[in-house]
C-alpha cells in the first residue's frame, strides 16, 4: 500500500518536499496556513547553483520553472565610497549550465506550487497546524479550524516559527534576532543607465549607516535591498510607508552609492522585517515526524542560502525515504546527511551578517583588509565552493 505524507507548510521546503516524496512513492498532501493568493512577505532572493542542482534531480529545469528570474553568477562588494572591495562568484555557470538566479519571492513560491499542482499534489490553503497526535499506526496533524489530517509521515515545513519544531522541542530553542532589519524594493520601470549596474552582478555595499544591495533586472529596472542595523526587533507598525521611505533615504544620505536615487525611483518598498536565524535545534525528528527548511535551521538572509538549504533538505528527504523502507531509519539517515552541513551554513550566514553591523573603526579595518583577505582566500580556490559545489549524492 502507498504510504501517505502530511506536509505542513507550503513554502519552498514544503512544496519541494511534496514533489520529492511523490517521486519516492509516497502520496503527499500539503497544508498551508495562508489563504490562496495571500501576498508572500519578502522582496526577492537568490536560489544558488547548489539548490538549483538539487531541483534538477527531481526532473525540474530551473530555466523553465524560474523563467521569471534572471542569472546572477557574480557578487561585487563595495564600501560607502563606491570603491570595489572584492568580487566573488555567486555560482555558475555549472557544467550543467545552471547559474544562480535571482527571483521575486512570490514568483518562486507560485512556480513551485504550480508544479506541485501539475503533478496532482493537493494543496489545502487556510489550514494552520496547531498540534499533532501520534498513534502506533500513524501521525495526525490538528489544524486551527478543528479539522485533522492523518498520514504515515508528518513533514514539518512550517517555517521559522514552526509549531512542529515546538512540539518536538518543548524547551526551545527560539529564533535568534540578528540585529539587522531587512527591506527591499523595485524601481518603477527602467532607470537611467547611470543607475543601472552591469547585468548578472549582484552589487552589495557597506554604506556608512546601513548595508545596501542592488541588481539590474532584464527589463531595465533595478531590484534592491537594505539592511539597517537595529539593536532590538522592530514592531509590526513602527513606521508608516512614507516614514520608512524617509528613514531609508536618511540612512543612505551622504554615501557615494546609488541607494538613495534607487529608493526615490521605487514606488514599491517591501518591509521592514526582522532577520533571524536558529541556533542548533536538538530534535529534528521522531519515528514519524521530521523537520525541514527554516523549521529546522533558519539561516541568516546574509548567507543567500535559505531557499537553497530548504531545497537540499527536501530532495535529501525524498532520497532517504526512497532508499530505506523503514521510516525511522530513513529519517535518521536524512538527519545524518543534513545536520552538519546546515549548521555550518547557519554559522557562515551569521558571520556574513555581522560584517554589516561594524562600527566606524570596524568598518575602516574591514574596508582596508577585505581586498587582501579575499585575494588570499581566492588563491586557495573559491571560498564558497563548499556551499555552492555541494551536490546531493
Ligand atoms: C526577506 C527575506 C529574504 C530572503 N532572502 C533569501 C535569499 O536571498 N536566498 C535564500 O536562499 N533565502 C533567502 N531567504 C530565506 C528563504 O526565504 C527561506 O529560508 C526559505 O523560504 C525557507 O523555506 P521554508 O519553506 O522552510 O520556509 P518558508 O518559506 O517560511 O515557508 C513556510 C510556510 O509554512 C507556512 N506555515 C507557517 N506556519 C504554519 C502552520 N502552523 N501550519 C501550516 N503552514 C504554516 C507559511 O505560511 C509558509 O508558507 C529570505 C527570507 C526572507 C524573509
Taking alpha carbons only, the member of 284, 6, 285 closest to residue 147 is 6
Query: Which CATH number fits the domain that encloses residue 318?
Result: 3.50.50.60
The count of C-alpha atoms lying within 13 angstroms of the C-alpha of 249, restricted to the half-sphere facing its C-beta, is 13
Q: Does residue 184 register a pLDDT over 90? A: yes
More confident residue, 361 or 151: 151
- Tell me what pLDDT residue 352 has: 82
Identify the band that residue 376 occupies on the pLDDT scale cut at 50, 70 and 90.
Answer: low
Cα–Cα distance for residue pair 312/315, rounded to 1 Å: 5
Cα–Cα distance for residue pair 296/298, rounded to 1 Å: 7
Of 5-19, 80-94, 135-149, the one with minimum mean pLDDT is 80-94
One domain, residues 284 and 344: yes
Task: For residue 131, tell me if it sits in a domain.
Answer: yes
Taking alpha carbons only, the member of 315, 391, 341 closest to residue 17 is 315
DSSP H or E stretch at residue 208: none
- Tell me what pLDDT residue 390 has: 94
One domain, residues 16 and 119: yes
Task: For residue 211, tell me if it sits in a domain.
Answer: yes
Task: For residue 65, tell me if it sits in a domain.
Answer: no
- Tell me what pLDDT residue 172 has: 92
Q: How far is the CA of 13 from the centre of ligand 1 (A)?
A: 8
Q: Does residue 379 register a pLDDT over 80? A: no
Residue nearest to atom 2 of ligand 1 (CA): 42
One domain, residues 294 and 272: no
Q: Does residue 380 register a pLDDT over 80? A: no
One domain, residues 161 and 146: yes
- Tell me what pLDDT residue 368 has: 66
Q: How far is the CA of 259 from the centre of ligand 1 (A)?
A: 26
Angle between helices 12-23 and 105-118 (to 10 degrees): 20
One domain, residues 157 and 182: no
Q: Does residue 166 register a pLDDT over 70? A: yes
One domain, residues 321 and 334: yes
Task: For residue 27, tell me if it sits in a domain.
Answer: yes
One domain, residues 29 and 160: yes
User: For residue 43, which atom of ligand 1 is closest to its CA?
Assistant: 1
* Structural domain count of the chain: 2
Handedness of CA 263, 266, 267, 270 (dihedral sign): negative
Q: How far is the CA of 172 from the centre of ligand 1 (A)?
A: 19
Which range marks the domain in which residue 325 is found?
A: 4-40+112-175+278-356
- Tell me what pLDDT residue 308 has: 97
pTM: 0.95
> What does the CA dihedral 368, 178, 39, 140 come to, rounded to 10 degrees?
140
Query: Which CATH number fits the domain that encloses residue 210?
Result: 3.30.9.30
Q: Does residue 14 register a pLDDT over 90? A: yes
Domain C-terminal end among 250, 277, 304: 277
Taking alpha carbons only, the member of 49, 100, 50 closest to residue 72 is 100
User: For residue 275, which atom of ligand 1 is closest to its CA?
Assistant: 53
Q: How far is the CA of 298 from the centre of ligand 1 (A)?
A: 9
User: For residue 163, which atom of ligand 1 is closest to its CA?
Assistant: 41
Task: For residue 385, tell me if it sits in a domain.
Answer: no
- Tell me what pLDDT residue 95 has: 80
Ligand 1 neighbours by CB, cut-off 6 Å:
8-14, 31-34, 42, 45-46, 128-129, 157-160, 163, 182, 293-295, 301, 304-308, 310
Domain C-terminal end among 222, 254, 277: 277
Task: For residue 212, tell me if it sits in a domain.
Answer: yes
Q: What is the best residue among 12, 75, 278 to mutate for testing ligand 1's pocket, by most ligand atoms within 8 Å of CB?
A: 12
In the chain, % of residues over pLDDT 70:
93
One domain, residues 201 and 349: no
One domain, residues 286 and 342: yes
Q: Does residue 22 register a pLDDT over 80? A: yes
One domain, residues 257 and 339: no
Q: What is the best residue among 46, 48, 158, 303 to mutate for testing ligand 1's pocket, by most ligand atoms within 8 Å of CB?
A: 158
Q: Does residue 153 register a pLDDT over 80? A: yes
Q: How far is the CA of 109 from the centre of ligand 1 (A)?
A: 9
Q: Does residue 216 register a pLDDT over 80? A: yes
Cβ atoms within 10 Å, residue 137: 8
User: For residue 40, which atom of ligand 1 is closest to its CA?
Assistant: 49
- Tell me what pLDDT residue 366 has: 65
Identify the band that residue 353 occupies on the pLDDT scale cut at 50, 70 and 90.
Answer: confident
What are the tens digits of pLDDT across the range 114-138? Answer: 999 999 999 999 999 999 999 989 9
Q: How far is the CA of 206 from the centre of ligand 1 (A)?
A: 26
One domain, residues 170 and 255: no
Task: For residue 86, tell me if it sits in a domain.
Answer: no
What are the tens digits of pLDDT across the range 100-120? Answer: 999 999 999 999 999 999 999
One domain, residues 190 and 250: yes
Amino acid at each position: 500500500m502507498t504510504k501517505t505524507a502530511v506536509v505542513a507548510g507550503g513554502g519552498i521546503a514544503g512544496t519541494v518536499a511534496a514533489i520529492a516524496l511523490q517521486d519516492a512513492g509516497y502520496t503527499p498532501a500539503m497544508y498551508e496556513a495562508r489563504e490562496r493568493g495571500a501576498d508572500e512577505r519578502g522582496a526577492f532572493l537568490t536560489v544558488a547553483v547548489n539548490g538549483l542542482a538539487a531541483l534538477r534531480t527531481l526532473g525540474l529545469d530551473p530555466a523553465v520553472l524560474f523563467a521569471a528570474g534572471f542569472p546572477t553568477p557574480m557578487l561585487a562588494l563595495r564600501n560607502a565610497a563606491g570603491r570595489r572591495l572584492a568580487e566573488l562568484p555567486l555560482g555558475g555557470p555549472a557544467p550543467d549550465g545552471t547559474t544562480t538566479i535571482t527571483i521575486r519571492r512570490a514568483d518562486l513560491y507560485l512556480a513551485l506550487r504550480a508544479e506541485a499542482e501539475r503533478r496532482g499534489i493537493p494543496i489545502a490553503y487556510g489550514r494552520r497546524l496547531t498540534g499533532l497526535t501520534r498513534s502506533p499506526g500513524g501521525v495526525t496533524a490538528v489544524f486551527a479550524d478543528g479539522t485533522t489530517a492523518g498520514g504515515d509521515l508528518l513533514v514539518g515545513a512550517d517555517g521559522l516559527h514552526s509549531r512542529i519544531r515546538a512540539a518536538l522541542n518543548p524547551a526551545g530553542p527560539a529564533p535568534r534576532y540578528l540585529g539587522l532589519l531587512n527591506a527591499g524594493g523595485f524601481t518603477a520601470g527602467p532607470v537611467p543607465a547611470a543607475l543601472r549596474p552591469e547585468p548578472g552582478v549582484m552589487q552589495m555595499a557597506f554604506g556608512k549607516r546601513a548595508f545596501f544591495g542592488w541588481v539590474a533586472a532584464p527589463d531595465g529596472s533595478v531590484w534592491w535591498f537594505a539592511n539597517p542595523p537595529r539593536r532590538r526587533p522592530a514592531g509590526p507598525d513602527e513606521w508608516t510607508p512614507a516614514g520608512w521611505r524617509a528613514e531609508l533615504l536618511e540612512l543612505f544620505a551622504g554615501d557615494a552609492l546609488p541607494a538613495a536615487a534607487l529608493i526615490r525611483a521605487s514606488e514599491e518598498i517591501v518591509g521592514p522585517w526582522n532577520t533571524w536565524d536558529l541556533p542548533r535545534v536538538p530534535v529534528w525528528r521522531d519515528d514519524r515526524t521530521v523537520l525541514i527548511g527554516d523549521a529546522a535551521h533558519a539561516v541568516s538572509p546574509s548567507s543567500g542560502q535559505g531557499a537553497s538549504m530548504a531545497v537540499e533538505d527536501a530532495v535529501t528527504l525524498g532520497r532517504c525515504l526512497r532508499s530505506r523502507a523503514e521510516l525511522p531509519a530513513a529519517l535518521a539517515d536524512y538527519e545524518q546527511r543534513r545536520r552538519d552541513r546546515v549548521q555550518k551554513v547557519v554559522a557562515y550566514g551569521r558571520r556574513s551578517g555581522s560584517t554589516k553591523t561594524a562600527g566606524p573603526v570596524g568598518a575602516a579595518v574591514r574596508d582596508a583588509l577585505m581586498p587582501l583577505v579575499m585575494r588570499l582566500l581566492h588563491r586557495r580556490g573559491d571560498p564558497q565552493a563548499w556551499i555552492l559545489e555541494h551536490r546531493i549524492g
